[in-house]
């Protein structure tokens, strides 16, 4: 596993009641999604996402647009821009575009194509 930055591995998080899901087969185009809490995507989303929680893009998930979040875990595909404290591209995950992140981790089998900028710590 290639690592950029320092991280601590958390225990697997169970979904909480405030989680929002975009399911496999679901598709949203031209959206602007702003929410508090976590977001789990297993479908297609085109547009912008902004959340105070975590974003999980599952193996069947694809996002085209921008994602702003505390933490992003990517097993599917994001094509666009991300801005987060932590981005983790898992085995099978693909990130294409521009990253601004405090920490960036890419696992074996993860793909990244684009530009990365370390978020300034204030």
Q: How would you write 57-90 as a 3-class SS string? A: ECCCCEEEEEEEEEEEEECCEEEEEEEEEEEEEC
* DSSP structure class, residue 10: P
Is residue 76 assigned to a domain?
Answer: yes
Provide the Cα torsion 16, 103, 63, 22; round to 10°: 0
- Ranking 4-8, 87-91, 95-99, 106-110 by mean pLDDT, the lowest is 4-8
Q: Is residue 11 one of the residues assigned to a domain?
A: no
Domain membership flag for residue 69:
yes
* 19 conformational bin, left if phi > 0, alpha if psi -120 to 50, beta if neither: beta
Q: Among 56, 62, 65, which residue's Cα sits nearest to residue 98? A: 65
Domain that holds residue 31: 19-118
Residue 68 in any domain: the answer is yes
Q: Could you give the number of structural domains in the chain?
A: 1
Q: Closest by alpha carbon to 24, among 61, 71, 78? A: 61
Lowest mean pLDDT among 13-27, 39-53, 84-98: 13-27
Examine residue 5 and state whether it is found in any structural domain, yes or no. no
Express as a percent the part of the chain with pLDDT over 90: 66
Determine, yes or no, domain membership for 7.
no
Given a cut of 50, whether residue 101 has pLDDT beyond it is yes
For residue range 26-67, list pLDDT tens digits in order.
677 778 989 999 999 988 999 999 999 999 999 999 999 999
9 belongs to a structural domain = no
Evaluate if residue 22 carries a pLDDT over 90: no
Domain membership of residue 1 (yes or no) is no
On whether the CB atoms of residues 41 and 55 are closer than 8 A, the answer is: yes
């Amino acid at each position: 596993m290639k690592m950029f930055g320092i991280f601590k591995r958390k225990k697997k998080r169970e979904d909480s009641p405030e989680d929002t899901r975009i399911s496999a087969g679901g598709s949203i185009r031209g959206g602007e999604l702003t929410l508090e809490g976590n977001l789990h995507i297993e479908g297609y989303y085109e547009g912008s996402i902004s959340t105070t929680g975590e974003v999980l893009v599952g193996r069947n998930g694809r996002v085209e647009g921008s994602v702003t979040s505390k933490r992003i875990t990517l097993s599917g595909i994001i094509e666009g821009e991300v801005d987060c404290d932590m981005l983790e591209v898992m085995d099978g995950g693909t990130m294409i575009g521009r990253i601004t992140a405090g920490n960036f981790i890419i696992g074996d089998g993860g793909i990244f194509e684009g530009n990365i900028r370390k978020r300034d710590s204030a």
